[in-house]
Amino acid sequence: MQKRTLGKNLEVSALGLGCMSMTTAYGPAADKEEMIRMLRAAHDLGVTHFDTAEAYGPFANEELVGEALQPVRSEVTLATKFGFDIDVETGARRSGTNSRPEHVKAVAEASLKRLRTDTIDLFYQHRVDPNVPIEDVAGAVKELIAEGKVKHFGMSEAAVQTIRRAHAVQPVTAVQSEYSLFYRGPEAELLPALEELGIGFVPFSPLGAGFLTGKIDEKTTFDPSDFRNLVPRFSPEARRANMALVDLVKSVAEGKSATPAQVALAWLLAQRPWIVPIPGTTKLHRLKENLGAVDLKLTEGDLKHIDEVASGLKLEGARLPEAVLKMTGL
């Protein structure tokens, strides 16, 4: 597996593994023992970067990742997140965000226990808290780093000016936001700013929540608990309108003897050398398929063709429900 560096010195596999779907968001939680085998297989296949969060469950995802990777803890990096208003003792969800310094530190202590580790490799603010100055948040993480409980500071779905303010207090190693051929918002301001500041980028939903795999069309039905039922971009009408993008990816894949998912991930990897996508899956054969993207070479001609055609498409539907978009800070 090829390696990439986030920030100044966090070396990780070129593709990480997003673990959220193993316990939440895309339907009922998968079988625990099967997911433990999946996580260990990912490590055996060369994945060294695993992404989780207290909010996934809550808590169930961190517990799963901690148990699965405890035997190889020294060989992997673990990323988790704070920032939602969740009772760290009971798991009760309150509304909104909570990045008060005392809460950030309490979340860190609880996450360390669930992850069965002495230190968190990458600790993201999951969503910007409008009620807490970002300097105070960065200062809290800086103290956790000084104590050895956290190694690196990350931010998720944050605006460029917020990232700059945080970075001035505690250097930010990685920023996580949605980015794929299905959503190219970060290209305008975020990517240039990260390049300037020397911050790595970790795109979530690099396969457009499954849309770019070519396995979803307007007739696809999702489990009632699948979050895509609430996403405007996944309405049947939007899916029908957006199939032209899938057709583009499929056509490139056919010419490369690859799959659409591999092309979509290879495209992301080709954008910057400090981009580390974290596709998620609960199926071993999909994991292996995704990892094949690391060795797929898209030529300058391929990239130009993809960009020219994709730029001419008008994609329908917002990437998230309006209420969720308001929490992103973007």
Which residues are identified as catalytic?
Answer: 56
pTM above 0.95, yes or no: yes
pLDDT (0 to 100) of residue 323: 82
> Is the pLDDT at 327 greater than 80, yes or no?
no
CB atoms near residue 246 (< 10 Å):
22
- Please report, rounded to a whole number, the percentage of residues in the chain having pLDDT higher than 90: 96
pLDDT digits (tens, 9 = 90+) for 220-266: 999 999 999 999 999 999 999 999 999 999 999 999 999 999 999 99
Which of 7-16, 23-32, 98-107, 318-327 has the weakest average pLDDT? 318-327
User: Model confidence at 330, in pLDDT bands (50, 70, 90)?
Assistant: low
Mean predicted confidence (pLDDT) in 194-208:
98
Q: Is the pLDDT of residue 329 over 90?
A: no
Q: How confident is the model at residue 100 (pLDDT cuts 50, 70, 90)?
A: very high
Across the chain, mean pLDDT equals 97
Domains of the chain in start order, with CATH, are: 3-325 (3.20.20.100)
Please give the backbone phi and psi of residue 120, each rounded to the nearest 5 degrees, phi first: -95, 125
What is the average pLDDT across 38-48? 98
Residue 284 pLDDT greater than 90, yes or no: yes
For residue 185, pLDDT over 70 is answered with yes
